[in-house]
Amino acid sequence: MAVSETIETVVNSGLCTSCGTCASICPAGAIKMEETPAGFLVAQINPSLCNLCGLCAKVCPGSHLEAGMISKEADPFTCPVLAAYCGYATDPDIRRQAQSGGMVTALLGYLLDVGQINKVLVTKMPEDGSLRPFSFFARNQEDLLQAQGSKYCPVAVNAALPQTFKEGDSIAVVGISCQIHGIRNAQIQNKSWRKHIPLAIGLFCDRTLNYGAIDYLIDKAHLVPDKVMSFQFRNTERTNWPGNVYIRDKQGVDYDVSSKYRMECKDAFTPVRCRLCFDKMNVLSDIAVGDAWGVREDKKGFSVILARTQRGLEVLRLAREAGYIHLEKISPEAVFRGQGVENRRKQWAAYTAAWKEKGKIVPDCGVNTKYQGDAEKGTALKPYVKQLDWAERLAKKKNRIQVLSAVNRHIIYKKIKTKLSLRRIGAALLLRVSNIWFSLNTVVRNLQK
Ligand SMILES: Cc1cc2nc3c(=O)[nH]c(=O)nc-3n(C[C@H](O)[C@H](O)[C@H](O)COP(=O)(O)OP(=O)(O)OC[C@H]3O[C@@H](n4cnc5c(N)ncnc54)[C@H](O)[C@@H]3O)c2cc1C
């Protein structure tokens, strides 16, 4: 995809990642992040303020990654790793209420305590019923604790960065892959971003879910959004791994919604842009952190960590020496296996081919074709095209009630389809077994004659 004059084309093509980089860097203050009626968060340009400087398009990770970010020799789905660990925060409070092992929060706490950075850009779920996560600068342990836990929905993290940094600003950011891509694109364009953001902690990221997923999960608690005070996607303190959805209503009553509902709605609420993302492993961060999938039987209370740069490696060493974190070395391959990177490679190749087949422009992230894997061709692309059609249709819904009822129908239809095909498989198996039985019977009878 060529860099267009403004990010308008990206938004209109359904490729906005919601990262907010453009809103923060726009010198005219012409861009705001707005929620669409269907529950997507996208950049909107105010044409009366925009002077068409094109900076927004240059930093936009929805359309591209600046050339050379990923070395031509590297496998973009994994990229080089200096060291891989499984570990956790040694502070029991941090570890207890963390999404994984509290590694992100412990590292940030260390950096603030020793004064290596003076603020950290983190993301918090509100507790006032507004149900939309927001990013803010944490300056101490208390702020950091409030931001723990993963918000699996759009967050314009980078929009919270200042347009002009203060002289003493030394900021660490925490973000999913597209947010970190936005920062890296901006750091190429703007030296202030390079100087004032010395560290990026990345989260592994499978996808985000449209805000409609929050409505869907609230509905499963037989509540409506207006009655809800706070919402958490995965609470591992109240319920076992991977943690149920936790909702508190405005009367102070608590609800735990089974994680099976979160899992069953994922495909329905996945935006197109996440389907076209190659970067599950946050390859441009200094340190990438995720759950201990495939690395430990008992995943609760453990993070996996990839040191991706010398700076990241050094921070891990110092935080460990200072007693903030516990680390055990593991192999990067075990992490990639546990996270299903090979599946991501296939899915990315198929969705990208399907998007092209629909006549759309694909993001240009410099992914070397050598590593694309086998894009499924011809009719095999059909299910991917269908899934993208669905995501596009959902984005056009007029309001969140329409979104919710469309998704409910979609999920019921999928369940019926799965049951019917299971029945078909069952019937085929029965037929096969009865054939074998009859054949054996004939052989035995012939032998007895
Ligand atoms: C959308 C999303 C998808 C993910 N997908 C995977 C996956 O497929 N596999 C996997 O192993 N791990 C995934 N993770 C990461 C995992 O859920 C944990 O966030 C990670 O292991 C860090 O846990 P922790 O205990 O170290 O962090 P904690 O101490 O709990 O701190 C979490 C930090 O993450 C930040 N944060 C939370 N949500 C967001 C957000 N939406 N955008 C930016 N920052 C945020 C908070 O500000 C906080 O600083 C995903 C996270 C997100 C947000």
Contact 291, 100 (CB under 8 A): yes
Pairing of strands 199-203, 325-330: unpaired
Tell me which of 18, 41, 95, 99 to substitute to probe ligand 1's pocket, judged by most ligand atoms within 8 Å of the beta carbon.
99
Q: ∠ CA(183), CA(185), CA(191), 5° rounding?
A: 80
Q: For 69-90, write each residue's pLDDT tens digit.
A: 999 889 999 999 999 999 999 9
Model pLDDT, residue 373: 62
- Sketch the domain layout of the chain as residue ranges: 83-341, 398-449
Rounded distance from Cα 3 to ligand 1 centre (Å): 30
Three-state secondary structure call for residue 305: strand
Q: Which residues contact 399 (CB under 8 A, 6 or more apart)?
A: 37, 38
Amino acid 215 reads D
Q: Is ligand 1 within 6 A of the CB of residue 6?
A: no
Three-state secondary structure call for residue 202: strand
Q: Is ligand 1 within 6 A of the CB of residue 206?
A: yes
Percent of the chain's residues with pLDDT above 90: 86
Contact 301, 249 (CB under 8 A): no
Q: For 4-27, write each residue's pLDDT tens digit.
A: 589 999 999 999 999 999 999 999
> How far apart are the C-alpha atoms of 339 and 22, rounded to whole Å?
30
Q: For 160-179, write each residue's pLDDT tens digit.
A: 999 899 999 999 999 999 99
Q: Is the pLDDT of residue 377 over 60?
A: no
Residue nearest to atom 20 of ligand 1 (CA): 290
pTM of the full structure:
0.93
Position 263 confidence tier, pLDDT thresholds 50, 70, 90: very high
